[in-house]
Amino acid sequence: MEKYSFKNDYSEGAHPAILQKLVETNLTQTIGYGEDEFCDEARELIKKQLKKEAEIHFVSGGTQANLIVISSILKPYESVIAAETGHIAVHETGAIEATGHKINTIATSDGKISAIQIEKVLKLHTDEHMVKPKMVYISNSTEVGSVYTKAELKSIYNFCQENNLILFVDGARLGSALTSSKCDLTLEDMANLCDVFYIGGTKNGALIGEAIVFNKLDLNENFRFHIKQKGGMLAKGRLIGIQFSELFRNDLFFEMGKHANKMAEKLAKNISNKGFEFLTEPSSNQIFPIFPNELIAKLQHHFEFFVWEKIDEEKSAIRLVTSWATSEEKVEYFIQSI
């Protein structure tokens, strides 16, 4: 029997509605580079959710979004503050450092950082012999599945404004975060509580694509030059515009996030009922149960997942990720297998 994967939320292709629209529009001729009618429509649909003026750009993936945004904003001597588990610090092959910008990392138990921790980093950097922290990078949801609440995001944003810092939110899994029962944020809040963020499509039912949103409009100046220079400007940009139009036409984006969370919640509840603990509190579509290594080895005969962290000689934390396409049947199968 073929193993079922809980490794990530992009193992499947794309939601059928997106594929259908791509087929329907396949022979429609448009101009290129994201200036077509489909990208314009997608921008307007997103702005309806934001309820404010913003500049929106489409790129193919999350690492590309992080790289282009951060390198376009920071001066050569400026750095970005992030959790030590942050995607830019761990899983992007030094992409940010390769553009000459240091990442000041903060140790954290749950993947989230606070204004107090950011302030400590600022106090350590006192003069021109050190890099100058200028940006704060957070992910919602984080790399360990936790989510920021409105109060937490507001606290960070207010601190950034008071200290002339730019707040950038990685939204690769924003669909899961905004539909989490532990999160009280909306897209409108995202428009008002950070300077720039992106909406992840790749990990929420699109084939590829992220929508970068500039709330602070002066940061957007000449941004298309940066997209082009970093290889992010697709000639067939319409392909991402079409997908985001479908994601936001009838709230498909949120429906898929809710489904992924529902499947993760069912896994977490049943795992907890069996007496197992978690590395971090289950909050989104990524959960991190702690299992005996012997059980992990047996589960690996039927499922694919990452062994995330060694707890001790006998136990490890694994990562289980659900998606818009995860079936309840497979979730039940995993629970029964335990």
Position 200 pLDDT exceeds 80: yes
**What are the helix (H) ranges across 220-338?**
223-229, 238-249, 252-273, 293-299, 328-337
- The domain made up of 4-10+253-337 has a fold known as Aspartate Aminotransferase, domain 1 (3.90.1150)
pLDDT above 70: percentage of residues in the chain: 100
Compute the average pLDDT of residues 202-211: 98
Exposed/middle/buried for 33, CB within 10 Å: 0-12, 13-18, 19+?
middle
Q: Where are the domains of the chain?
A: 4-10+253-337, 16-251
Position 1 pLDDT exceeds 90: no
Position 95 pLDDT exceeds 70: yes
What is the CB neighbour count within 10 angstroms for residue 150?
13
Helix or strand or coil: residue 108?
Answer: coil
Instruction: Tell me the residue type at 136.
Output: V
CA angle 134, 187, 156 (to 5 degrees): 30
Task: Give the pLDDT confidence of 229-288 residue by residue, as tens digits.
Answer: 999 999 999 999 999 999 999 999 999 999 999 999 999 999 999 999 999 999 999 999
Q: Which CATH architecture has domain 16-251?
A: 3-Layer(aba) Sandwich (3.40)
Both ends of the chain: CA-CA distance in Å?
17
- Is residue 101 within 8 A of residue 78, CB to CB? The reply is yes
What gap in Å lies between CA 257 and CA 255, rounded to an integer?
A: 5
What gap in Å lies between CA 85 and CA 137, rounded to an integer?
A: 11
State the virtual CA torsion across 235, 19, 249, 237 in degrees, nearest 10: 0
